[in-house]
Structure 1
């Protein structure tokens, strides 16, 4: 997906957050922010790739601070908090064990920012209220048909914390007797799930976990490894979680893919691109 004017301040917000997590050196933060302004002033214009631009910016921060994983603590806490609430979510699903509710739970995981919650927050009420909300785009019948007619699926995960809720959908997918391959980032970027976080969350219970060969914001086709490209090409049926993967995958030809996007439209640029309202929950086939 291409940038909109609103991506500019979003890059700067992300840069400030990453810098604050990566270093306490105020002089270094000023120096790096100056370089980010210079980088964006040279690169930021209509038609550029949103994910690649953000990936380069975050790589600058990691290299110049020497902190390879600014979100390390946030990722651990995100998984820990989500795992704490997993039994409660399973209880909620006992009342309605439908495929649609499992899809909603996976999308609710995409809505919840586990790094921003504490043990005192009423996450259960957020989950219940979201389950009562209709999917704005609901290609559930097509989705179930794909589960029934394919023998394997590639599942592209998004953030830590969120991946714990993905487990419930993965468990439901297993009922359709599919082989599941779960794709994670090879290097830390933001709070995206890498191999260690996926293993900590127990995703290996449901399928083979593979790395995409890079640590980019979302999916950037030019950066994935040859090994992952072969895996991607060998899967017709793909499930993509989150906005970053949507932004990257819509840059490539998907005409031969049976691909579904599960996400919450959390920014105006994404909601306009898809044609939905801000904060809508979506399951749609591209």
Structure 2
């Protein structure tokens, strides 16, 4: 997906937050934010890929501050929030064990995104209200048909915290007899899930966990490893979680894929691109 003008303020907000999480050195912050201004001045242009731009900016912050994982505490916070609401979402499933509820809960987990929301946003209130909402777009019948048709699936996870809710959907997918490959980031970026978080959450109970070969905002085709590219190409059925993966995957040819996007539309640029309202929850086939 291409950037819009609204991505500019969002990049700067993310840069400020990442710098505050990375260092207390005010002089260093001034130096780095100056480099980010220059980077965006040179690269923030119509037609630029949003994922690549955001990834490069965050990598610059990591390199300049030496803080490899600025969002480490936020990852822990995300897990704590998800675990807090796990009993409530399990009650929803106990009341109605339909596939749609598992999908809805996995999408609600996508709200735990410290790239789209600010660190001060009341994410818990959004989760509470979302538990009472229906999916706006729900290609459930097509999704279930794909679960019945294929014998394996590649599941692209997104954020730490969110993966706690993903476990419920992964367990449901296993009931259809599919072999699941779960893809995580190879290096920290925002609060995205890496191997250590995936293992801590117990995702390996549901399938093989693989790394994509890079630490990028969502999926950036030019950055993934050749090993992961083979895995990606070998899978015809793909489940993509989150906005970042949507932004990146819609930049490449997916005509040979049976691919579904599960996300909450958390920004105006994404909402306009898909044609939905802000905060709508979506399962749709691309």
TM-score, L = length of structure 2: 0.95
Q: Take 1:92 and 1:126, find their aligned partners in 2: how far apart are those partners?
A: 17
5+ residue gaps, structure 1, are: none
Residues 181-230 of structure 1 deviation map (CA, whole Å, 9 limit, x = unaligned) = 00000000000000000011111111110000000010000000000000
1:255 corresponds to which residue? 255
Is residue 241 of structure 1 aligned with residue 230 of structure 2? no
1:3 corresponds to which residue? 3
Describe the shift of the 1:126–1:62 C-alpha distance in structure 2 as closer, same or farther (beyond 3 A).
closer
CA contact (8 A) 1:184 1:209 kept: yes
Q: Take 2:42 and 2:48, find their aligned partners in 1: how far apart are those partners?
A: 12
CA contact (8 A) 1:83 1:201 kept: no
Describe the shift of the 1:122–1:4 C-alpha distance in structure 2 as closer, same or farther (beyond 3 A).
closer
Describe the shift of the 1:161–1:117 C-alpha distance in structure 2 as closer, same or farther (beyond 3 A).
farther
- Alpha-carbon shift at residue 29 of structure 1 (Å): 0.3
Q: Please show how residues 1-286 of structure 1 align to structure 2 within 5 Å.
A: 1-113=1-113, 123=124, 127=127, 129-286=129-286
Residue 154 of structure 2: SS of its match in structure 1?
strand
Residues 166-194 of structure 1 deviation map (CA, whole Å, 9 limit, x = unaligned) = 00000110110000000000000000000
Q: Take 2:163 and 2:3, find their aligned partners in 1: how far apart are those partners?
A: 27
Residue 284 of structure 1: SS of its match in structure 2?
strand
Describe the shift of the 1:74–1:275 C-alpha distance in structure 2 as closer, same or farther (beyond 3 A).
same
Q: Take 2:191 and 2:154, find their aligned partners in 1: how far apart are those partners?
A: 21
Residue 5 of structure 1: SS of its match in structure 2?
coil
Q: Take 2:263 and 2:156, find their aligned partners in 1: how far apart are those partners?
A: 12
Q: Take 1:251 and 1:272, find their aligned partners in 2: how far apart are those partners?
A: 16
CA contact (8 A) 2:111 2:127 kept: no
Q: Take 1:117 and 1:257, find their aligned partners in 2: how far apart are those partners?
A: 38
Residues 107-132 of structure 1 deviation map (CA, whole Å, 9 limit, x = unaligned) = 110124589699xx995x86564243
Describe the shift of the 1:81–1:130 C-alpha distance in structure 2 as closer, same or farther (beyond 3 A).
closer
Size of the alignment, in residue pairs? Answer: 283
- Alpha-carbon shift at residue 72 of structure 1 (Å): 1.1
Q: Take 2:190 and 2:136, find their aligned partners in 1: how far apart are those partners?
A: 28
Q: Take 2:123 and 2:56, find their aligned partners in 1: how far apart are those partners?
A: 37
Residues 221-261 of structure 1 deviation map (CA, whole Å, 9 limit, x = unaligned) = 00000000000001000000000000000000000000000
Residues 69-116 of structure 1 deviation map (CA, whole Å, 9 limit, x = unaligned) = 101121123223323432332123100111000000001101245896
Q: Take 2:213 and 2:152, find their aligned partners in 1: how far apart are those partners?
A: 21
